[in-house]
Structure 1
Amino acid sequence: MADITHLRKMSGAGMMDCKKALEEADNDFEKAMEIIRKKGQAVAAKRSDREAAEGCVLAADEGGFAAIVALKCETDFVAKNADFVALTQDILNAAMTGKPASKEALLAATLQGGRTVENHITDRIGVTGEKMELGYYESVQGAATVSYIHPGNKLASIVAFNEPVDHHVAREIAMQVAAMNPVAVTPDEVPAHVLDTEREVARDKARQAGKPENLLDRIAEGALQKYFKENTLLQQEYVKDAKLTVQQYLQQQSKTLTVTAFKRVTLNVD
Structure 2
Amino acid sequence: MVVTAQDVAALRQKTGAGMMDCKKALIEAKGDFTQAIDFLRKKGQKIFADRATHHASEGAVFAAASLDHKMSFLLVLNCETDFVAKNELFLKLGKSILEAAVAYRPISMEALQALPLGNQTVQGAVVESIGTIGEKITISSYETLTAETTVPYIHTGNRLAVLVGLEGAQGEQVRAAGRDVAMQIAAMAPVALDKNQVDPAMLVKESAIIHAQVINEGHKDDKAEKITQGRLHKFFQENTLLPQPFVKNTKLTVAEYLQTVAPSLTVTAFKRIAVGA
**Which TM-score band (shorter chain)?**
0.7 to 0.9
Is 1:98 aligned to residue 104 of structure 2?
yes
Assess if the C-alpha contact under 8 Å between 2:16 and 2:83 holds in 1. Answer: no
Superposition misfits of 4+ residues, deviation over 4 angstroms? 12-23, 35-38
Contact map agreement 2:40 2:133 (CA 8 A) in 1: no
SS at match of 1:235: coil
- Aligned pair in 2 of structure 1 residues 44, 216: CA closer, same or farther (>3 Å)? farther
Aligned-partner Cα distance in 2 for 1:38–1:84? 17
Distance 1:36 1:81 in 2: 15
Aligned to 2:10: none
Which residue in 2 is equivalent to 1:174? 182
1:44 correspondence with 2:48: yes
- Partner Cα separation in structure 2 for residue 216 and residue 53 of structure 1: 44
**Which residue is equivalent to 2:203?**
195
RMSD of aligned Cα (Å): 2.6
Q: Does 1:81 align with 2:87?
A: yes
Provide the C-alpha distance between the structure 2 equivalents of 1:221 and 1:236, rounded to a whole number of angstroms: 18
Query: Cα offset for 1:226?
Result: 1.1
Separation in structure 2 between the aligned mates of residue 44 and residue 144 of structure 1, nearest angstrom = 39
Q: CA shift at 1:240, angstroms?
A: 0.5
* Shift in CA distance, 109/72, structure 1 to aligned 2, threshold 3 Å: same
Q: Does the 8 A contact of 2:41 with 2:130 survive in 1?
A: no
Partner of 1:158: 163
Residues 67 and 95, structure 1, Cα contact 8 Å, conserved in 2: yes
Mapped to 1, the partners of 2:232 and 2:100 lie a distance apart of 41
Partner of 1:241: 249
In the TM superposition, 1:1-270 aligns within 5 A as 39-62=43-66, 63-113=69-119, 115-162=120-167, 163-165=169-171, 166=173, 167-267=175-275
Instruction: Give the drift of 1:217.
Output: 3.1
Q: Unmatched 5+ residue regions in structure 2? A: 1-14
What SS does structure 1 have at the residue aligned with 2:43?
Answer: helix
CA distance in 2, matches of 1:256, 1:156: 26
TM-score, structure 1 normalization: 0.84
User: Relative to 1, partners in 2 of residues 1:105 and 1:159: Cα closer, same or farther, differing over 3 Å?
Assistant: same
Q: C-alpha separation between the residues in 2 aligned to 1:89 and 1:106?
A: 13
Secondary structure, in 3 states, of the residue corresponding to 2:116?
coil
Q: How many residues align?
A: 250
